[in-house]
Amino acid sequence: MADIIKLLPDHVANQIAAGEVVQRPASVVKELLENAIDAGASNVKLIVKDGGKSLIHVVDNGSGMSEIDARLSFERHATSKISAAEDLFNLNTKGFRGEALASIAAIAHVDLQTKLDGADIGSHLKIEGSKVISQEVSATPKGTSIAVKNLFFNIPARRNFLKSNQVELRHITDEFQRVALVHHEVAFQFYNNGSELFNLPIESFRQRIVHVFGNRMNERLVPVEEETEVLKVSGFICKPEFAKKSRGEQFFFANGRFIKSPYLHHALIAAFEGLIKSEMQPGYFLFLDVDPGSIDINIHPTKTEVKFDDENTLYAILRSTIKHSLGQFNVVPALDFEHDNNLQTPYSYQGKEAILPRVTVDSRFNPFDEGSQITKKAGNTFRKESAEGWENLYVDSVENDTPFSSVHFESEIETPDIFEGETEDLDTNQITFQLRRKYIVTTIKSGMLVVNQNRAHQRVLYERFLGDDTLKQGASQQLLFPLQLEFTVQEIEQLKGLCENLAVLGFILTFDNEEQVTVSGIPNIMTETSIGMVLAELVENRNDSISPADFMAKTLCKTIALKTGQAMDAESQMALVNDLFGCKESKLDPFNRIIYTTIETEAIEKKFM
Ligand code: ADP
Ligand code: MG
């Protein structure tokens, strides 16, 4: 047989490599920003269009490249950063594999202009899909400008795989923030479709954090500083009362690189133990400096995982350092009520009973009254057809309450579906009780019904939000004292995007400036105390895969539903169960989690055999 093995042409090899290095526009942003930093720039400008799909442009005032280097920089394994394998262990640059530019040029249109400091003239190079289109001399300022256009133009499958511009922009923003946070000694500007998202001067780390995440960050930060033989920790943690539900503001930088480390993250969680609820996330911005020889950075360039030699020791040091800082700055366990209350998220108060939203099912309505608040609000009367199913759940407890229940046993199995069978009148004396302030327990025909109160209430609210006409017309309550809330520029942009839907629900928002919004009206069913929480939730967890209306309904019901831990009186318990079974869907909450379970009498019987 003839020889069949051949070497792949360079442009094919580059495309394959590109698949690993460049997953999405944000990967290109990361590589270009890091190159600019490695080139010693003190000013870096990032310009993107359409979530980076049509343009990613990075301009720096760093070292620049000679004419020959400019050409070489696009070759694979072309790097100025290492020359021998040993250099890998003493790296203080971001790049070292010489792969990024070659990869990017293989799958995009690249336009490079660069000039060395002191040189009279610079070079201008155009490359499309690894092919050099032109190389000319050009008059350009000192430094480098790289524009990457039409990413994945020659890999349609990859291009189609990209998410919406907004999602890609969010990934880019994440990468930008990571680089910008570590390099506060560098000024950054970031523009998206012509509008400025960030303009960061050279500043201290603390100022940089505040600049990136908004003014409200300033009062939240607690400094951390510790130096031991194996590890130097510095930076900031956020006070426990500002812990969030999402993991947004958590940054480890190991030897100047952003890293992810679930293990060290756990050390932080352990340090905050007892200060924040288990589902809450502490914010942190920490530099970890270790001996470069003790950290394995020889990993894939796009990955952020690293390996430390002695993780256990680092864990212990980190945990005690954080505990120490929390103690030293007196943030344990007292709560600082000096803060602007508007910015406080009530759910983060430690040890404080969650504030019961006034929308709870308490007393405002009687479920057995056709004209109850909830049924009225739902825009129609109690949905009879589905309610019947629920009524049928009840048993005449006297009838079945016999020591010889096995006699009734058989007949009960005959109607295993609790929603079928003949209708019985609703037993208004039905006993319910709350288990661990989390579940409502009651009896049904076939045994016992256990309802998760939080999920049930979410379902009830959700259907009201989506179905309620009065709500759709913006039934709004005016606030006597409008609330001013601060957000970051990006968050304000997000809120603006949701503005129309917010108005439909009854929110009245005025955007005062690029970091502040005034709330002068809220939906009727909401309480003032939850405004900050609801809006924060809306901007933090925007999910582009669902419609804005659905997203808002989900967020609202998630934030204002009865929580686990809230005590409910008997009437409210019954009312909630009734409303639940009046819902179109009563088995699953808006997030597709099971709302209730039943325990068959048979199963209980078996335990006594
Ligand atoms: P690496 O960063 O791993 O060395 P890259 O492909 O990212 O590989 O870059 C190749 C080389 O091109 C770098 O080593 C550097 O010498 C040069 N280079 C890239 N970007 C710049 C820039 N913005 N300014 C100066 N030199 C650069
Ligand atoms: Mg690089």
Question: Is residue 138 domain-shared with residue 225, that is, in the same domain?
Answer: no
Give the ligand at the shortest distance from the Cα of 99. 1
Question: Is residue 518 domain-shared with residue 538, that is, in the same domain?
Answer: yes
Last residue of a domain, one of 278, 303, 328: 328
> Per the structure, how many domains does the chain have?
3
CATH number of the domain at 475, please: 3.30.1370.100
Question: Is residue 23 domain-shared with residue 142, that is, in the same domain?
Answer: yes
Identify whether 25 is part of a domain: yes
Using omega within 30 degrees of 0 as the cis cutoff, is the peptide bond preceding 482 cis? no
Question: Is residue 151 domain-shared with residue 180, that is, in the same domain?
Answer: yes
Rounded to the nearest angstrom, the distance between the alpha carbon of 285 and the centre of ligand 2 is: 24
pLDDT mean across residues, the chain: 80
Pocket test for ligand 1, best of 21, 28, 34, 38 (most atoms within 8 A of CB): 38
Alpha helices in 22-155 (DSSP H): 25-38, 67-72, 100-106
Question: Is residue 117 domain-shared with residue 50, that is, in the same domain?
Answer: yes
Tens-digit pLDDT profile for residues 11-69: 777 777 777 778 899 999 999 999 999 999 999 999 999 999 999 999 999 999 999 99
* Closest C-alpha residue for ligand 1 atom 9: 98
Angle made by CA atoms 599, 575, 558, in degrees to the nearest 5: 85
Q: Which atom of ligand 1 is nearest to the CA of 34?
A: 2
Rounded to the nearest angstrom, the distance between the alpha carbon of 117 and the centre of ligand 1 is: 16
Distance CA 248, CA 551 (A): 19
Q: What letter would DSSP give residue 57?
A: E
Question: Is residue 192 domain-shared with residue 215, that is, in the same domain?
Answer: no
Q: Domain range for residue 490? A: 432-597
pLDDT at 342: 38
Last residue of a domain, one of 304, 328, 352: 328
Rounded to the nearest angstrom, the distance between the alpha carbon of 445 and the centre of ligand 1 is: 73
Tens-digit pLDDT profile for residues 441-485: 998 888 889 999 999 999 998 888 777 544 555 577 888 788 888
Closest CA to 221 of 200, 242, 202: 242
Q: Which atom of ligand 1 is nearest to the CA of 79?
A: 14
**C-alpha to C-alpha distances, 479 to 83, 341, 345, 359, 519, nearest whole angstrom:** 66, 16, 18, 17, 8
Is residue 17 a contact partner of residue 112, using CB atoms and an 8 Å limit? no
pLDDT at 14: 76
Question: Is residue 168 domain-shared with residue 220, that is, in the same domain?
Answer: no
Rounded to the nearest angstrom, the distance between the alpha carbon of 454 and the centre of ligand 1 is: 53
The tokens describing 408, both together, are 């009734």
The tokens describing 34, both together, are 């890091």
Pocket test for ligand 1, best of 32, 42, 45, 101 (most atoms within 8 A of CB): 101
* Residue in the structure block whose two tokens are 């499958």: 157
Rounded to the nearest angstrom, the distance between the alpha carbon of 253 and the centre of ligand 2 is: 18
Ligand 1 site, CB within 6 A: 31, 35-36, 39, 60, 62-65, 73, 78-81, 95-102, 144
Identify whether 130 is part of a domain: yes
Question: Is residue 163 domain-shared with residue 219, that is, in the same domain?
Answer: no
Q: Which atom of ligand 1 is nearest to the CA of 100?
A: 6
Last residue of a domain, one of 183, 200, 217: 200
Instruction: Collect the ranges in the chain with pLDDT lower than 70.
Output: 82-92, 95-96, 297-303, 330-429, 468-474, 542-544
Pocket test for ligand 1, best of 73, 87, 148 (most atoms within 8 A of CB): 73
